[in-house]
Amino acid sequence: MDFVIQWLWYLAAFVGGSAVAWLITVVSIRRTSEEDALAALPGAR
Amino acid sequence: MNNVNWWLMALAFVLGLLLTFALMIRRVKRQIPLYAALGAGAGVKAPHVSAPDIPTTKLPHVSAPNVNAKPRHLSGSDAPTMEMPLVSAPGVDVKGPHVSGGELAVGAAAVAGGAAAAKFADVPPGPYGVGSAKPGAAGSGPEGWTIKGNEDSMLYHTPDSPSYKQTIAEVWFNDEDVATKSGFTRWDKGRHPRN
């Protein structure tokens, strides 16, 4: 039982790290329109 | 909670962080379908050119003085102010009260109004009015249209341009006249001062 509880804590830590990464990504990278995204691509032509 | 190894906890946290970053953020490369790059788009019909779409396609309202001044502001989704008249069958003359002379003059001034309407009946007007068309899903243009417009350089490429194949058309033109009137320059104009 003890082992399972430890395992759950590690799992929670993994999910927490993933949530932090997701938050950072969503906040720092904004959605743009498709046209803007294509125009901003390097070497688009 | 007492028996938890904190180093392993931190490792799990960092792993979750890195994996999520790796899955969410990556460098984007523009990818062109092979058949489009080979210029074999003729077999692939552009979806917006299909006949059932024509009655619902909206004509962009293009006023003639703006075409030469700021062509980039004339994208089709900006100001759709009128709709194509409902046609029951492809090839029906769409000339009518909705298509005024001004709109036709934008795209095909050299062509008579009625003839232009019949000529472009199966292709809805693109961002530069009648005679221009947005590329299809594969980047291909309407059948028989050969002139590619590059909105970044504002150049248009005819098939004899050396960079014709690698140019990704943002707009297709039916003929050079329409492209010139839309504010585009021929690809080799800079190389020949006399042009």
Domain that holds residue B132: 39-186
Q: For residue B7, is it within any domain?
A: no
pLDDT over 80 (residue B144): yes
Whether A37 maps to a domain, the answer reads no
Domain count, chain B: 1
Is residue B37 scored above 50 in pLDDT? yes
* Residue B101 placed within a domain: yes
Q: Is residue B194 part of a domain?
A: no
Structure token pair of residue A17 = 């790290």
Query: Is B130 part of any domain?
Result: yes
**Does some domain include residue B12?**
no
- Residue A7 in any domain: the answer is yes
Cα–Cα distance for residue pair B187/B192, rounded to 1 Å: 10
What ipTM, to 2 d.p.?
0.77
Is residue B137 less than 8 Å (CB to CB) from chain A?
no
Return the axis-axis angle of helices A2-28 and B6-24, rounded to nearest 10°.
Answer: 40
Q: Report the 10 Å Cβ neighbour count for B30.
A: 11
| CB within 8 Å: B30 and A38 | yes
List CB contacts of B131: < 8 A, sequence separation 6 or more.
B107, B108, B116, B120, B125, B173, B174, B175, B177, B178
Number of domains observed in the structure of chain A:
1
Q: Which of B34-38, B70-74, B106-110, B114-118 has the highest mean pLDDT?
A: B34-38
Check: pTM over 0.80? Answer yes or no.
no
- Nearest by CB to B13, which of A13, A29, A35? A13
Q: Which of B5, B13, B156 to mutate to test the interface with A (most CBs of A within 10 A)?
A: B13
Instruction: Examine residue B53 and state whether it is found in any structural domain, yes or no.
Output: yes
Specify if A41 maps to a domain: no
Give pLDDT tens digits for B71-85: 444 444 555 555 565
DSSP element (H, E) containing B177: helix B176-181
**What is the H or E stretch that residue B130 is in?**
none
Rounded to whole angstroms, the Cα distance separating B142 from B172 reads 8
